[in-house]
Amino acid sequence: MIEVRSVAKSFAVPAAKGAGLRGLARLGRRGETTRVHAVRDVSFTAPAGHITGLLGPNGAGKTTTLRMLAALMTPDAGSLAVDGIDVATRPREVLARLGMLSDARGLYPRLTARENIVYYGALQGMEKDAADARAQDLGRMFEMTALLDRRTDGFSQGERMKTALARALVHDPENIVLDEPTNGLDVLATRALRESLRWLRTPAGGSKCIVFSTHIMQEVERLCDSVVVVAHGRTVAAGTVPELLAQTGETDFEEAFVKLAFVADPALAGAAP
Amino acid sequence: MTGHRAAFFAVLKKELTDALRDRRTLLTVLVSSVLMGPLVLMAISGLVASLESRAEQREVYVDGLARAPTLRNFLERQTYTVKEAPADYEAQLRKSKFSDPVVVVPSDFEAALLRGDVPVLEVVSDSANQRSESGAGRIERLLGGFARERAVLSLALRGVSLQLIEPVQVEERDLASTQTRATRLTGMLPFFVMMAVLYGALNAALDTTAGERERGSLEPLLMNPAERWAIVAGKWGAVACVSMLIAVLSCFSFLPGQWVLRSDTLAAMFQYGPREALLFLVVLLPLAAALSAVLMAVAIRSKTFKEAQASSTVVVLAVSLLPLVNVFNLGGEAPWYVWVPALAQNTLMTRVLKGEALDPAQIAIPIFVCAVLAAAGVWYVARTLRQAALK
């Protein structure tokens, strides 16, 4: 189970430097920064055996929220917990229970897919044999057994994604978080991924708690048990797809999403870029 | 978590595998560093051998030989072979085609000599033509001998005692041992091995930091429960291992390198055996560890490998320029040399080549400095890692 309670995060970003000589003149100066509020108030609970969609337009604060969940960033306010363990105080225990496929999913091109997976197993504290066996299992699950002993240099997008996902799941975590996993995948690979996630949700697959972040509503409609809509750094709605349709009085989920994400909050409607 | 050590070794093993699989880079570094020793030695020995053979040949080239029978007589009595210089000797010397200085005899040499008119003998060489330049001193001394003989003879004929002509006798005594003299030639070897160590570390250091950022593999790496410092220590260990491997290979490459020495004198002077190789390693291995950490600390700030290469130039420059303090500072070695990385190693290795004993304290200080540098580098990378992963 993943709980996110009213987290907020802002960054200081350097003020835009002028082009050319003016920019050069400003280069040495410090302190000219503006604050960007990436996340203002995001809350949601993702239960086990359930696929929770985190839906929001680009720049809504999804990735920042997930980075806070992985203890890569410390929230300015609010708290996060995985299986009841607080991220701020016991980050390593959280990471041991979390399998995260982040936005950045670089592989080591000189290692084989299996070595990439087993490396993460070792970092999770697994024995070599156990990690090896697990890599074999994951290879079967994602239909990539033939790829396992090839170097990842030259892998296609889909093959890379599968390897990165297998790597994130090597320690068989109870909680799985996927940040825009279908980016760059073709239809077949997307379908295969959906099948795998559905299976992982079932008791046979381990009743995993799955959080699926995306900006594509069709993904959410097809896969997710419930949806959390995030816009401008805030949670603007939550519920199942029919519930959200009813809430907005729409029949088309895309219309409902646009209403929720871009129009629902009149205070923010004007501030949208 | 119980697995600090497990995480450290997992990272170490992975990074070593990764670095050793980067065949092309590794091969370039290996070939350049391991072949460097024998190649430098061969070049030096070739130079020394040609100087030696010239000295043994005892030849003098004279332009206008027929005009100076007296000089010829003198030179031949010194067991020199006197040869007529080629007509276009000036052009040949300039182009380095001709490697001996030429004595130019003026047209009325003999007559002027008899009259006591002090004729001028020119010794022509080209200071850009190193081999002719090195022979010029020898020829000048020879001609000085000729002048002295003439003076002594004419004074003796007038009944002047020889002691009056040479009231002081000058004798040279060279304190340098054969090994010390050899370091004038082999002095650049420490520089080459240090460069080999540096370039051995460079690629791996950049790949495990900036390369990891560029690939986008640093962020997922930090989503593992392994301690950050264990990850960084593992990476540093791997980089240091690669650099040390290069250090070992390059130090021992001078051993077979000696077999190709063409000059017997140089072979006798250049005493580099297993003992010297081991002393080199004692000096170099801590430097390899320190440079690995420093390069990683510099590279972790860069988002791409290319950017990291640009910023690591500062380190490369420092390591290549610091030993030059030794060359520019004419006051000899200063005590603070051993506190400066690269300069300390250069100084110590030069001393090993000179066959001087090494003071344990003077070895301990650079090792201590290297340990501090390595710890500081690893600490900085561990501190910056999370921030670096996200940008």
The reported pLDDT for the residue numbered A270 is: 44
Take residue B199 and report the two structure tokens written for it: 């370039």
Q: Do B14 and A110 touch (CB under 8 A)?
A: no
Residue A209, strand partner residues:
A50, A175
Q: Do B229 and B320 fall within a single domain?
A: yes
Q: Do B203 and B277 fall within a single domain?
A: yes
Task: Compute the mean pLDDT over every residue in chain A, rounded to the nearest whole number.
Answer: 88
**Mean pLDDT of the region A65-93:** 94
Spatial separation of the C-alpha atoms in residues B172 and B167, rounded to whole Å: 17
Residue B315 contacts residue B298 (beta carbons within 8 Å): yes
Q: Do B126 and B268 fall within a single domain?
A: no
Q: In what order do the strands lie in the sheet with A209-214?
A: A85-86, A77-82, A2-14, A33-46, A234-239, A226-231, A50-55, A209-214, A175-179, A98-101
Q: Do B222 and B86 fall within a single domain?
A: no
**Mean pLDDT of the region A43-52:** 95
Whether residue B230 lies within 8 A of chain A, CB to CB, comes out as: no
Total domains in the fold of chain B: 2
Chain B residues with CB-CB distance to A67 below 8 A: 390
- pLDDT above 90 for A169: yes
Spatial separation of the C-alpha atoms in residues B344 and B365, rounded to whole Å: 9
Residue A192 contacts residue A142 (beta carbons within 8 Å): yes
Q: Do B166 and B184 fall within a single domain?
A: no
B 203-222 residues inside an 8 A Cβ radius of A: 212, 215-222
Which among B16, B223, B387 is the top mutation candidate for probing chain A, defined by the most A β-carbons within 10 Å of its own β-carbon?
A: B223
The reported pLDDT for the residue numbered A199 is: 92
Q: Which of A210-214, A256-260, B61-65, B180-184 has the lowest mean pLDDT?
A: B180-184
Residue type, A188: L
Residue B197 contacts residue B250 (beta carbons within 8 Å): yes
**Mean pLDDT of the region B72-87:** 86
First CA to last CA distance, chain B: 28
Alpha-carbon distances, residue A236 vs A64, A248, A260, A271, B46 (angstroms): 17, 12, 7, 15, 81
Q: Do B224 and A70 touch (CB under 8 A)?
A: no
Report the percent of chain B where pLDDT is more than 90: 33
Q: Do B134 and B281 fall within a single domain?
A: no
Residue count of chain A, please give it. Answer: 273
Q: How far is A114 from chain B (nearest CA, A)?
A: 12
A 166-185 residues inside an 8 A Cβ radius of B: 167-168
Among B109, B142, B173, residue at a domain's last position: B173
| CATH of region A2-97+175-269, choose from 2.40.37.10, 3.90.550.10, 3.40.50.300, 2.40.33.20 | 3.40.50.300
Chain B residues with CB-CB distance to A108 below 8 A: 14, 18, 215, 217
The reported pLDDT for the residue numbered B177 is: 60
DSSP alpha helices (H): ranges in B158-223?
162-165, 178-186, 189-206, 212-215, 218-221
Residue B36 contacts residue B250 (beta carbons within 8 Å): yes
For tokens 């895309």, what's the residue? A254
Q: Phi/psi at B83 (nearest 5 deg)?
A: -130, 150
Report the percent of chain A where pLDDT is more than 90: 63
Q: Do B11 and A123 touch (CB under 8 A)?
A: yes
- pLDDT above 60 for B62: yes
Spatial separation of the C-alpha atoms in residues B194 and B174, rounded to whole Å: 31
Read off the pLDDT of residues B240-256 as tens digits, 9 standing for 90 and up: 999 999 999 888 888 87
The band of B68, judged by pLDDT with boundaries at 50, 70 and 90, is confident
Q: Residue B75 sits in a domain of what CATH number?
A: 3.40.1710
The band of A97, judged by pLDDT with boundaries at 50, 70 and 90, is very high
Q: In what order do the strands lie in the sheet with B122-124?
A: B81-84, B59-63, B102-104, B122-124
The reported pLDDT for the residue numbered B374 is: 96
Chain A residues with CB-CB distance to B18 below 8 A: 108, 110-111
Alpha-carbon distances, residue B327 vs A242, B175, B330, B339, B350 (angstroms): 82, 20, 7, 17, 12
Q: Which of A63-72, A163-172, B220-229, B246-255 has the lowest mean pLDDT?
A: B246-255
Among A92, A98, A104, whose Cβ lies nearest the Cβ of B216? Answer: A104
**Mean pLDDT of the region B231-235:** 96
Q: A71-103: b or e for each residue (b if 16 or more CB lie within 10 Å)?
A: bbbebeebebbbbebebeeebebbbbbbbbbbb
pTM of the model: 0.80
Take residue B268 and report the two structure tokens written for it: 């006798």
Q: Do B258 and B166 fall within a single domain?
A: no
Q: Which of B38-52, B172-186, B235-249, B281-295 has the lowest mean pLDDT?
A: B172-186
Q: Do A95 and B225 touch (CB under 8 A)?
A: yes
Domain of residue B371 covers 4-46+180-390
- List chain A domain ranges: 2-97+175-269, 104-172
The band of A28, judged by pLDDT with boundaries at 50, 70 and 90, is low
Whether residue B274 lies within 8 A of chain A, CB to CB, comes out as: no
Among B173, B192, B224, residue at a domain's last position: B173
Residue B96 domain-assigned (yes or no): yes
Residue B301 domain-assigned (yes or no): yes
Residue B53 domain-assigned (yes or no): no
Alpha-carbon distances, residue A252 vs A194, A221, A226, A257, A262 (angstroms): 22, 11, 16, 9, 16
Spatial separation of the C-alpha atoms in residues B340 and B363, rounded to whole Å: 12
Chain B residues with CB-CB distance to A104 below 8 A: 216-220, 389
Q: Do B108 and B242 fall within a single domain?
A: no
- pLDDT above 70 for A266: no
The band of B158, judged by pLDDT with boundaries at 50, 70 and 90, is confident
Quote the Cα angle for B223-A197-A154, to 5°: 65
The band of B174, judged by pLDDT with boundaries at 50, 70 and 90, is low
Q: How far is B388 from chain A (nearest CA, A)?
A: 11
Q: Do B166 and B314 fall within a single domain?
A: no
- pLDDT above 50 for A272: no
- pLDDT above 60 for A271: no
DSSP B258: G
Quote the Cα angle for A163-A167-A171, to 5°: 150
Q: Do B196 and B342 fall within a single domain?
A: yes
The reported pLDDT for the residue numbered A273 is: 40
Whether residue B223 lies within 8 A of chain A, CB to CB, comes out as: yes
- pLDDT above 80 for A269: no
ipTM confidence: 0.89
Read off the pLDDT of residues A124-142 as tens digits, 9 standing for 90 and up: 999 999 999 999 999 998 8
Q: Do B35 and B129 fall within a single domain?
A: no
Read off the pLDDT of residues B177-209 as tens digits, 9 standing for 90 and up: 656 656 666 777 888 889 889 988 999 999 999
Residue B390 contacts residue A67 (beta carbons within 8 Å): yes
Q: Do A123 and B225 touch (CB under 8 A)?
A: yes
Whether residue A69 lies within 8 A of chain B, CB to CB, comes out as: no
Chain B residues with CB-CB distance to A96 below 8 A: 225
Report the percent of chain B where pLDDT is more than 70: 90
First CA to last CA distance, chain A: 34
The reported pLDDT for the residue numbered B1 is: 46
Read off the pLDDT of residues B315-348 as tens digits, 9 standing for 90 and up: 999 998 888 887 776 667 778 888 889 889 988 9
Among B111, B139, B173, residue at a domain's last position: B173
**Mean pLDDT of the region A214-236:** 91
